[in-house]
């Protein structure tokens, strides 16, 4: 299908013609990277900040993507976004974060001023300019499109792009009931990886790598709600006593907690240990032990959290009626990983064809009246630092080697499993749609398919 204008589709180098084969040059070719810069990033919804980064009137942060910079500010009209350039001679007005309630934004070059709502309030030496170049509407900061979801502000440089929700409604339906908008930052770390941005994301789009990369997570207690080994890389443990199965399950919780921080909180783990020691009755059939234990655990986590003033959803209701995938991908660069009432979160931004900024949050539900410090973007840590939690540290050890391996003579394509590595193919083909210049509504439907849970099969995205 061609663009709305009827113009022919653009040619795309290294286009995916077989959905099971991904050309390796997409991960390092400079021409392909420049096409993404020109035709992808200016037209997609991007998670630009967590709303708790700008909690008070006048709070602002800068969001950068490649050569573009946007200011997100909580003004009198709510959360707004503006292109970060003085209307005089284009100097960037703001870097990092701050509060402009009193001063507004002041250009460091010639002192022009702008209110927190983007209105130009002062032109130094106004009389030396011709009046026809000082029209007020032309002096105000240029707004950037912004929409809110999940406790975050998303921006889009394309004013004609379909609404954010049109690209992610199934994910929103699964996560809204988990109060994703009320999660707060427990901690936030980042690293510059010597890896293409797409490669950095794809490690989290399938569970096939768990057996080798995360061996501590591979052997799991038997839970019939989990997929089999051939599906996701999990390995149900041999049948044992009910207590042994439950103890193994709680140990798995501890590994996730240690490996991913707040993805499983210390308080959830403590509750699990208390339940074991309380001698609760469990089915003798090991295949029924974990589901039965989960009913008790979810009920205790929900009850105790609510007693503390936390708006915790009913975890047993969610398990029965709205189960969440372990990883949810929101095109083009944002992930949420739900676990009990907590989530981990990733955002990946391209820097060069073979480097990217990888950010990782630990998110938790806190009492509604608890005062939290405003989170501030961290200074990136070296990608091989021992300070990272174990699970991302294991992933980070693979990715630089993969980036180098893609340059190997004779390695022309990645070979994907059609059954469990389909998300990689699905979202990569959506990128092709942007580079080709396909119809925006057609792309919105494709984004829905190219987003979602990990471990899905290759699907028809509509083109």
H, E, C per residue of 62-114: EEEECCEEEEEEEECCEEEEEECCCCCCCCCCCCCEEECCCCCEECCCCCCEE
Would you say residue 226 has pLDDT above 60? no
Domain limits for position 81: 47-153
Contacts for 401-406 with beta carbons within 8 Å, 24 or more apart? 402/195, 402/199, 403/27, 403/28, 403/194, 403/195, 403/196, 403/199, 403/354, 406/24, 406/27, 406/28, 406/199
Domain for residue 61, yes or no? yes
Q: How many domains does the chain have?
A: 3
Q: What is the mean pLDDT of the chain?
A: 91
170 shares its domain with 124: no
Contact 152, 160 (CB under 8 A): no
State the Cα–Cα distance between residues 197 and 66, nearest whole angstrom. 12
Burial class for 166, CB neighbours closer than 10 Å (0-12, 13-18, 19+): middle
Name the token pair of 454.
């990990």
Q: How far apart (Å, rounded) are the C-alpha atoms in residues 67 and 37? A: 9
Are 343 and 434 in a shared domain? yes
The single-letter DSSP state of residue 39 is H
Beta bridge partners of 190: 359
**SS3 assignment, position 361:** strand
Q: Which of 321, 346, 361 is the last residue of a domain?
A: 321
Residues 342 and 430 in one domain: yes
Task: Enter the tokens of residue 204.
Answer: 């989290």
Check whether residue 195 and residue 333 sit in a common domain. Answer: yes
Statement: residue 1 has pLDDT above 50: no
Helix (H) or strand (E) holding 395: helix 390-405
pLDDT single digits (tens) 88-108: 999 999 999 999 999 999 999
Q: Which of 321, 351, 367 is at the close of a domain?
A: 321
Q: Residue written as tokens 């980042």?
A: 190
Residue 261: the pLDDT is: 67
What's the half-sphere exposure (Cβ side, CA atoms, 13 Å) at 299?
7
What is the Rg, in whole angstroms, of the alpha carbon atoms belonging to the chain? 24
Backbone φ and ψ of 313, nearest 5°: -65, 160
Same domain? For 341 and 447 the reply is yes
Residue 233: the pLDDT is 39
Question: Cβ distance 349 to 332 under 8 Å?
Answer: no
Q: Is residue 113 part of a domain?
A: yes
Query: How sure is the predictor about 271, in pLDDT bands with cuts at 50, 70 and 90?
Result: very high
Q: Indicate whether 405 belongs to any domain.
A: yes
Q: Give the pLDDT score at 220.
A: 55
pLDDT given at position 228: 37
Residues 256 and 183 in one domain: no
Q: What is the pLDDT of residue 349?
A: 98
Q: How far apart are CA 257 and CA 214, in angstroms?
A: 14
- pLDDT category, 219, cuts 50, 70, 90? low
Instruction: Note whether residue 462 is domain-resident.
Output: no
User: Do 333 and 189 belong together in one domain?
Assistant: yes
Confirm if 398 and 213 have CB atoms less than 8 A apart: yes
Residue 316 lies in a domain: yes
Q: Which of 262, 297, 321 is the last residue of a domain?
A: 321
Give yes or no for residue 5 having a pLDDT over 70.
no
Q: Domain with 54 in it: what CATH number?
A: 2.102.10.10
Q: Are residues 217 and 315 in the same domain?
A: yes
40 and 188 within one domain: yes
Q: Are residues 252 and 182 in the same domain?
A: no
The two tokens of residue 28 are: 């390092």
Task: List Cβ neighbours of 128 (8 Å cut-off, separation of 6 or more).
Answer: none
Same domain, 343 and 439: yes
The answer to whether position 463 is within a domain reads no
Q: Is residue 458, in this structure, part of any structural domain at all?
A: no
pTM of the model: 0.92
pLDDT of residue 235: 44
The reported pLDDT for the residue numbered 6 is 65
Closest CA to 113 of 146, 91, 81: 91
Greater confidence, 2 or 172? 172
In a domain, 12, yes or no: no
Does 428 lie in the same domain as 338?
yes
At 230 the pLDDT is 35
> What's the CATH code of the domain at 374?
3.90.380.10
Mean pLDDT of 340-365: 96
Whether omega before 332 lies within 30 degrees of 0, making that bond cis, reads yes
> For residue range 315-346, what is the model confidence (pLDDT) as tens digits?
999 999 988 888 999 999 999 999 999 999 99
């Amino acid at each position: 299908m061609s663009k709305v204008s009827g113009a022919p589709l653009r040619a795309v180098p290294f286009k995916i013609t077989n959905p099971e084969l991904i050309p390796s040059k997409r991960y390092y070719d400079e021409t392909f990277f420049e096409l993404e810069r020109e035709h992808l990033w200016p037209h997609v919804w991007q998670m630009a900040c967590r709303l708790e980064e700008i909690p008070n009137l006048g709070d602002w942060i800068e969001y950068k993507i490649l050569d573009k910079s946007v200011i997100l500010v909580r003004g009198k009209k709510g959360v707004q976004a503006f292109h970060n350039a003085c209307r005089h001679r284009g100097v960037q007005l703001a870097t990092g974060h701050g509060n402009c309630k009193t001063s507004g934004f002041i250009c460091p070059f010639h002192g022009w001023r702008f209110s927190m709502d983007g209105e130009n309030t002062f032109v130094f030496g106004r009389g030396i300019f011709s009046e026809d170049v000082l029209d007020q509407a032309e002096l105000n900061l240029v707004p950037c499109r912004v929409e809110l979801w999940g406790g975050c502000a998303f921006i889009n440089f394309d004013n004609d792009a379909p609404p954010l929700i049109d690209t992610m409604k199934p994910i929103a339906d699964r996560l809204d009931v988990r109060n994703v908008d009320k999660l707060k930052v427990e901690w936030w770390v980042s690293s510059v990886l010597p890896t293409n941005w797409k490669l950095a994301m794809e490690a989290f789009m399938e569970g096939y790598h768990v057996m080798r990369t995360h061996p501590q997570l591979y052997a799991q207690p038997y839970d019939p709600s989990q997929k089999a080994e051939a599906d996701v890389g999990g390995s149900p443990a041999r049948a044992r006593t009910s207590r042994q199965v439950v103890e193994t399950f709680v140990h798995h919780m501890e590994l996730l907690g240690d490996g991913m921080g707040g993805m499983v909180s210390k308080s959830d783990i403590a509750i699990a240990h208390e339940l074991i020691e309380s001698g609760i009755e469990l089915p003798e059939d090991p295949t029924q032990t974990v589901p039965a234990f989960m009913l008790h655990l979810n009920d205790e986590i929900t009850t105790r959290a609510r007693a503390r003033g936390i708006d915790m959803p009913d975890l047993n209701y969610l398990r029965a009626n709205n189960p969440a995938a372990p990883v949810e991908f929101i095109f083009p660069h944002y992930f949420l990983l739900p676990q009990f009432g907590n989530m981990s979160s990733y955002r990946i931004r391209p820097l060069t064809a073979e480097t990217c900024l990888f950010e990782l949050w630990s998110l938790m539900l806190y009492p509604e009246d608890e005062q939290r410090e405003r989170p501030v973007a961290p200074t990136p840590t070296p990608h091989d630092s021992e300070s990272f939690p174990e699970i991302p540290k294991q992933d980070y050890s693979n990715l630089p080697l993969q980036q180098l391996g893609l340059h190997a003579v004779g390695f022309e394509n990645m070979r994907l499993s059609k059954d469990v590595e389909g998300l990689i193919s699905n979202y990569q083909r959506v990128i092709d749609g942007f580079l080709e210049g396909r119809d925006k509504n057609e792309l919105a439907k494709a984004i829905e398919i190219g987003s979602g849970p990990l471990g899905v099969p290759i699907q028809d995205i509509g083109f």
